[in-house]
Amino acid sequence: MKRTILFGLLTILVSTSVFAEEVKVKVNGMVCAFCAQGIEHALKEEQTVEHVKVDLDSGVVTIHTHDKQAITDKTIDRIITDAGFTVESVERK
Amino acid sequence: MFSMVVLAASVAQARPVSYPDGIMPMAEHSHMGTIANVTYSPTARVAYGVQSEYRQHQESWFNGVIVNWLPWRKNMRTSQANLYFRSGLGQTHTRGKNDVGGFAGMNADWENRRYLVAYENRYFADGGKAESAFDEKLRLGIAPYKAPYEQWQPWFIVQVDHAPEDDEQVTVTPMLRMFKGAFLGEAGISHRGDIYSSVILQF
């Protein structure tokens, strides 16, 4: 039983530190392609970010980080605010 | 002495300020003349650039530096509202005479993914002529559907220009806007048959 719990904990630990992170950010004010492009460009400048997908219809920006790397809520908020938009929520998988 | 002249053409620029570190070239042709500018935005609040402009009615050139400023923006869940101030200072060349010229104006807009409302005005001053100029425009737009970011987004827009000092004070121009990624293009024909076109790139 102890071994199973330990294995589970190790699995969680490894999965959060080795694999890439997916973060869904709800952005307010993102209404056009120029807005989307600005946000995409700003996020891609961040070294931890590998891929950015923008969904204009839902106003959600999905960020994929590089393996073993993470991006903090504070960093996301700073980048999107500096780009001229407002973060409504951040959801992590 | 800095006297004024009628120079009734203003830039119907959808986004006078780009994203941080963004460069935005723009060109516009209308019944009033032709404008080309390129701006650089160090932040999402301000853009600096250069502009060259030919005003057809006045047979006058303007070449100068421009500053666009975004002092206020409201980001809402499905829409955005902005207030911009624009200004320019440079040299005018009117019928063989060079002088100092400049302009100041504002843009206010609101848009969501289906509708847009925009108003802008500009006051242009030219040291070479004892006249002053003010012009303004209103835009109403509707998108027939909401296209994904990766696809072309069409807009049907009606622009109403008002130039109080002109013989033809009001010009109505229906146009089609196509918007995708870093490209925004517009084309239309005014109620007097004049061609309108504009292109904006953002990178």
Q: What is the CATH number of the domain that holds A47?
A: 3.30.70.100
Q: Give the structural domain span for A62.
A: 18-92
The reply to whether A92 touches chain B by the CB within 8 Å rule is: no
Looking at residue B4, its pLDDT comes to 33
Nearest-neighbour CA in chain A from B45: distance (Å): 8
Interchain CB distance below 8 Å, B80 and A35: yes
**Could you tell me if A50 lies within 8 Å of chain B, comparing CB atoms?**
no
Q: Most distant CA pair in chain A: distance in Å?
A: 55
Confidence of residue B1 (pLDDT cuts 50, 70, 90): very low
Residue B180 in contact with partner chain A when CB distance is under 8 A: yes
ipTM over 0.95: no
Tell me which residues of chain A, numbers 7 to 46, contact chain B at a CB-CB cutoff of 8 Å: 28-39, 41-42
Where does residue A67 rank: exposed (0-12), middle (13-18), buried (19+ CB within 10 A)?
Answer: exposed
> pLDDT tens for residues B145-190?
999 888 999 999 999 999 888 888 999 999 999 999 899 999 999 9
Six-digit token pair at B171? 């010009």
Residue A73 covered by a domain: yes
Residues of A in contact with B184 (CB under 8 A): 33-34
Domain total in chain A: 1
**CA of residue B8 relative to chain centroid, distance:** 12
**Higher model confidence: residue A43 or residue B55?**
A43
pTM here? Answer: 0.86
3-state helix, strand, coil in chain B (%, to 5): 0, 65, 35
Q: DSSP string covering A61-78, please?
A: EEEEEPTT----HHHHHH
Q: Does residue A5 lie in a domain region?
A: no
d(CA B187, CA B178): 9
CA nearest B118: which of B167, B175, B49, B36? B175
CB contact (8 A) between residue B18 and residue A54: no
* Residue A25 located in a structural domain: yes
| Interatomic CA distance for residues B82 and B75, integer angstroms | 9
Does any domain span residue A81? yes
Q: Chain B within 8 Å of A89 (Cβ-Cβ)?
A: no
Residue A87 lies in a domain: yes
Q: Answer whether residue A29 is part of any domain.
A: yes
Tell me the per-residue pLDDT of A61-82, one tens digit each, with 9 for 90 and over.
999 999 989 999 999 999 999 9
A12, part of any domain:
no
Q: Which two tokens stand for residue A32?
A: 């056009």
Mean pLDDT, chain B, as a whole number? 89
Asked if A87 has any chain B CB less than 8 Å from its own CB, the reply is: no
Task: Point out the residue among A33, A54, A83 whose CB comes nearest to the CB of B179.
Answer: A33
Please tell me the predicted confidence (pLDDT) of residue B7.
Answer: 34
- Is A55 among the domain residues? yes
The shortest CB-CB distance from B153 to any of A33, A55, A85 is to A33
* Residue A19: pLDDT over 80: no
Write out chain B residues lying below 8 Å of A85, CB-based. Answer: 75
Query: In angstroms, how far is the first alpha carbon of chain B from the final one?
Result: 40
Task: Give the position of tokens 């050139």.
Answer: B61
